[in-house]
Chains A and B, each alone.
Chain A
Amino acid sequence: MRKTFTILSVITAVLLAYALYQALVVAPTDAQQGEVYRIIYYHVPSAWTAFLLFFINFIASIQYLVSRKPSTQAAAKWVVLAIGVAGVVACFLPAVQRLIPAGMRPSAVATTVLLIPIFYFVIGWLFPGDRLDVLAVTTAEVGVVFCTIVLITGPIWARPVWGIWWAPGDIRLTSTLVLWLIYVSYLVLRRFSNSAQTQMLAAALAVFGALDVPLVYFSIWFFRTQHPQPVIGGGGSMDPRMLRTLLDSWIAFLFFAFLVCWSRFRLELLHREVEEAHAMESLAGEGVAAKASLPLNRSPR
């Protein structure tokens, strides 16, 4: 395990260096924005990584909540499957296709919908029982870090390009900020809660946060249509070299995020093991303490 971690660290460092080189040297300069646009190679991959981590957190929290009762767990499986099938079918109905914003292909939306059941089952299979909660902590913490990077690099870019640090009516800025606020409150709850109930409370809050996100998005979307806002280059055409660099950066960031999550995950597992051992020790005295030894005292396997 230690060996894999070292190898993965080296690969991540190489990938990050390569992505930085691509972003600063290889990628062409933007025709309108000049050199300052290069910050998107850190900004956008961080955003995608943060959203992915929050999504995993949501799935893990749902799994944790339903796994308390076998009956809800069985029902949830079918509900998730139904959501996947219905979502994919709906994307190809003409009535629904009209609702999809221009520039998004229905097949892309269908693939995104299909990710919900895939993530659900893969996460449930890889992380049984209380490990779901450990995964939720990990992804929330690392996700908040990446989201913070997004919120810092965004204004740095906006100041020279838009002429303002912050656009209160902008849909992406504001919904990312609200997402960040929700997950910070999630972490605060975990910090302030008693250990026995934390997991359930946190999972419930994560579900509330996920339900909130579409509402935030729609409310700001409508708010924006009433208020003037800075013009954002309307997606569409991007130099293929730029897109390639962006994807390279994202892969590097994903490796990095995985690495951080992995070490945080192991740390949290150890932390819980220590707590459990302490609890056993104080409960049953010396006899049991010998059996439930502290993991840090163990010789490395």
Chain B
Amino acid sequence: MTGPIESPTNSLWAVTLATLVKDIRLEWRSKDALNSMLFFSLLVVVIFSFSFDPLAEESRHIVGGLIWVAFLFAAVVALNQTWARELRNQVLDAYRVSPAPANALFLAKALGNFIFVSVLEALMTPLFVIFYNLRVLGPAWQLIPVAVLGTWALVVNGTFFAAMSVRTRSRELMLPLLLFPISIPAVLGMVAATTSILTGEESAHFWIVLLLTYDVVFTTACLALFGMILHAE
């Protein structure tokens, strides 16, 4: 709390980095979000594998949907904790009156969530491969931009809407209600891109461009409006 006064608290990147490091350190020590996300998506994998009894040929067509639905639901777990942490001890109110730029806080939270969800994806993807006997028929390297852009698409809006839903009465419930309708084009893009790469039947280029557009549009919108949301009274 009592940092050295000469530190450049007003610079966007300094504040972003400081908040990000703080969040990662907190997560590293508690592992609350990551553990609950991991267990949750593990449950989804197991339940789906019981309900669908996949053969290798069919599973290529459905697993793109399953994997992203699992990550979407798991991401909500992490996103809900983003701001709840700052409500304790009135941290968010302290931030509101401080001269630090609002967007630094938003960027740090979004990047933090991006890292958590990426770690989750890195750990869960091998499990999906094992449970559904997957073998990629298309250009596998394209899965990386799809994963990065798709995760950012979920996380950037998710962080924004979590900041909104934290102001409402039933916080945990509100976030998916706000996030899912807006995320439909992104989810469609991720699922369709993953399916077309796994099956190798169609090109995923359009979907990657769509995800990129979605990311650019909504990152801009979030950065433009976050200050108002943070200071809304």
Could you tell me which A residues sit within 8 Å of B by CB distance?
65, 68, 178, 181-182, 184-185, 188-189, 192-194, 196-197, 200-201, 204-205, 207-209, 211-212, 215-216, 218-220, 222-223, 226
Contacts and interface: CB of A to CB of B under 8 A. Distances in A.
Given A65-B228, A215-B185, A197 B167 contact: yes
Contact of A204 (B164, B177, B192, B210): B164
Contacts of B206: 222
A223 B192 contact: yes
B6 interface: no
Given A181-B181, A182-B182, A192 B169 contact: yes
B175 to A, nearest CB: 11
Given A189-B164, A219-B185, A219-B189, A208 B218 contact: yes
A185 B225 contact: no
B174 A189 contact: yes
Contact of A215 (B178, B181, B214): B214
24 contacts: A178-B184, A178-B185, A181-B180, A185-B180, A188-B177, A189-B168, A189-B174, A189-B178, A192-B168, A192-B173, A193-B168, A200-B228, A201-B164, A204-B225, A208-B157, A209-B181, A212-B185, A215-B185, A215-B186, A215-B214, A216-B185, A219-B189, A222-B210, A223-B192
B185 A194 contact: no
B223 interface: no
A211 B213 CA distance: 11
Contacts of B185: 178, 212, 215-216, 218-219
A207 B221 contact: yes
| Residue among A194, A200, A219 with the highest chain B CB neighbour number at 10 A | A219
Contact of A200 (B157, B160, B168, B232): B232
Contacts of A68: 228
Interface string B135-168: 0000000000000000000000100100010011
A223 B190 CA distance: 12
Given A201-B232, A223-B188, A207 B225 contact: yes
A192 B232 contact: no
| Residue among B182, B202, B207 with the highest chain A CB neighbour number at 10 A | B182
If over half of A's interface residues share one DSSP class (helix, strand or loop), that class is named, otherwise mixed; here it is helix
A188 B218 CA distance: 21
Contacts of A178: 181, 184-185
Nearest to B178: A185
| Residue among B157, B213, B228 with the highest chain A CB neighbour number at 10 A | B228
A189 B161 CA distance: 11
A193 B168 CA distance: 4
A192 B173 CA distance: 10
A2 to B, nearest CB: 37
A216 B186 CA distance: 9
A277 to B, nearest CB: 21
A65 to B, nearest CB: 7
B127 interface: no
Nearest to A182: B181
B229 interface: yes
A182 B181 CA distance: 5
Contacts of A185: 177-178, 180-182
A200 B188 contact: no
B91 interface: no
B217 A215 contact: yes
A210 to B, nearest CB: 10
| Residue among A184, A204, A205 with the highest chain B CB neighbour number at 10 A | A204
B182 A192 contact: no
A177 B232 CA distance: 30
Interface string B197-231: 00000100011001001100110010001001100
A200 B163 CA distance: 12
Given A215-B185, A215-B210, A223-B188, 16 more contacts: A65-B225, A181-B184, A185-B177, A193-B167, A194-B169, A200-B232, A201-B167, A204-B228, A205-B178, A207-B225, A208-B157, A208-B221, A215-B217, A216-B184, A219-B189, A220-B188
Contacts of B184: 178, 181, 212, 216
